[in-house]
Amino acid sequence: MCGILGTLNYQNAADAHKLSAMRDTMPYRGPDDNGVWLSDDKYCGLAHLRLSILDPSPAGHQPRVEQSGRYVISYNGEVYNYIEIRAELETKGYTFETGTDTEVILQAYIEYGTECLSLFNGMFAIAIWDNETRELFLARDRLGIKPVYYYQNANEFIFASETKAILKGLSELPALNIELIDDYMSFGYIPGEKTLHQGINRLMPGHFAIVKDQVMTTTQWWDLKFDNQTDKGFDYYLNQSKTLLESAIDLRLRSDVPLGIFLSGGIDSSAVVGLLADKVKEPLKTFSIAYDFGKNFDETQYARMIAEKFGTDHHELKITPQQFKDFIPQYIELMDEPVTEAAAISLFFVSKLAKEKVTVALSGEGSDEIFAGYDLYQYMNVLEKYRGVVGQSGSEFFAGISNKILGESHKVSKYLNMATQPIEQRYKGMSTYPDASKEALYKPDFKAKLDAEKQKTNHGAFSKQLFENMKGQDQLNKMLYFDTKTWLVDDLLIKADRMSMATSIELRVPFLDYRLVEFAATIPSHHKIKKGEGKYPLKKMMEGILPNDIIYRKKMGFPTPLKLMFQNEMREYAQDLLLSDDSKLHSYFKKDRIEQLITEHNANKYDHHKTLWQLVVLEEWLRRNTD
């Protein structure tokens, strides 16, 4: 696991000192080694940070120049099936100098070109420069587990693992894409290709790009296809899913450094422990975290139950609300982008705990998105039934109630609003914020700017295209596809990448093995949600392996006591930050409305903690990323 960056210089020569400075904005991504490479004509510059996992010897140094000198690679990630690919390449006459997957990737590109990507099972961000054709190849893994950002103007093309590295290479901060503030307020993150910085974009998951003669051409090389037309019976899907999950876990054991598991006590991480325990000679190292804020924010008893059952070498940590508050500025700095994923702070601390013992950790991310584990999916199905019963007049009634509930339960307002619209309009993913609540915050002049920008930029086209891609599919498949392309990649996986890499931990996610993801997309929806249970195949799979108290208990998922913290430890901090005269938010949001939210929350009249956290994250981000 590493950090990558590079430049193509259209006007000036590549500068090794500048590349080093950009690289050094994210030193935690590669504490074991680093390097800079420049082409002879200094048109191309590549840089790398190395966290040594496979063949930790100096032979694994990057950027790596291929034997003939034609190709140079800077690569971040792990291709778990590199041994099999290497064996195939050796039958074609290729020889290898190292035990790294980096060399295998480079030789596979030489042999197969861009088609090599379909061979790779893993998480990756790849940059390869061809000295002969003078073109740069950039690629991102299927699901977007590893990030790639890029920026281009008339003078240069820059790419990097994090936006802060790109910003370091620019002479001034880019302006904001202000229409994306509305996306942030809708989702709690910004989905799609663009970021809040004008000109800095994401290479999308499952895409590769060729940059040549100052032109970037992007191609989608993978997409998730749902096919529920054939039903082979529940037992078939159950057995095949288990076989694929076990294979995914086996592949992710390949490492030349110590390995552990993040154990929350939920079914996902417990399943990884349960399926892995018999495959290792030494006790598994497991790591758990909780808030020192009472049993409602503490799952460690369940994690302990699993640790005892499987005899793991278990470690746990409790963090205080004060530690959470003190870490917020660093959280904003590390995340790069504004993302209201408070559980990310928990992940940082458990990663820091794990780093004392291991360099690689496995976790349960992705299970909910492939097996339909979130309660929201079932709520949506209920809403669809009610829509069919009440018709248009009933929908108008729901809309009237929703618009009045600005200060009450976020969930009540959210679901009433959803009940007024068809699935393509009402479903915006797992973290949707009610439109009426966010728009009550907007200043009139900002709202006018938003409306003008939305018309000019075809705003919302990304979400519409996702539903268009799923035309003819059932409601559950539409939601799963949408969340895989938005919530999973731009919230959960960005959190996983940033917080684990911040402590120099490589995080592996076996549920997102592409073979399992593709197979799960063929499981008929009625097998995924059955008898009121989401994630039904996984739950049945783990019966007899995990205790039923683990399998069928209500999902918590790193609960964070934000409601209570905003009334106590974070009360003064939030007031000072959000209501100060120099607050950046006041350019966009009504100060009196923010003050009302704080007052009502502190008086325990309404629970506004999600909106307050959203505003805190945005304000802290704006202070660091705007002039």
Q: Which residues are catalytic?
A: 2
Measure the CA–CA gap between 168 and 172, rounded to whole angstroms: 9
User: What is the β-pairing status of strands 285-291 and 200-202?
Assistant: unpaired
Within 8 A by CB and 6+ apart from 620, the residues are: 328, 329, 332, 577
The two structure tokens encoding residue 17 = 């000192």
**Across the strands, what pairs with 7?**
45, 158
Alpha helices in 311-374 (DSSP H): 321-335, 343-355, 367-371
- Using alpha carbons only, give the angle 215, 218, 222 rounded to the nearest 5 degrees: 165
Measure the CA–CA gap between 504 and 31, rounded to whole angstroms: 7
Do residues 60 and 52 make contact, with C-beta atoms less than 8 angstroms apart?
yes
Report which residue type is found at 553: R
The two structure tokens encoding residue 308 = 């005892």
Measure the CA–CA gap between 541 and 552, rounded to whole angstroms: 12
The two structure tokens encoding residue 205 = 């998951």
Q: What is the DSSP string of 542-559?
A: HBTTB-HHHHTSPP--S-
Measure the CA–CA gap between 300 and 296, rounded to whole angstroms: 11
Do residues 344 and 327 make contact, with C-beta atoms less than 8 angstroms apart?
no
* 359 Ramachandran zone, left/alpha/beta (phi>0; psi -120 to 50): alpha
Q: What is the DSSP-derived secondary structure letter of residue 148?
A: -
Instruction: Give the E-state strand segments of 100-214 in sequence order.
Output: 122-130, 135-140, 149-152, 156-160, 200-202, 207-212
Measure the CA–CA gap between 211 and 219, rounded to whole angstroms: 12
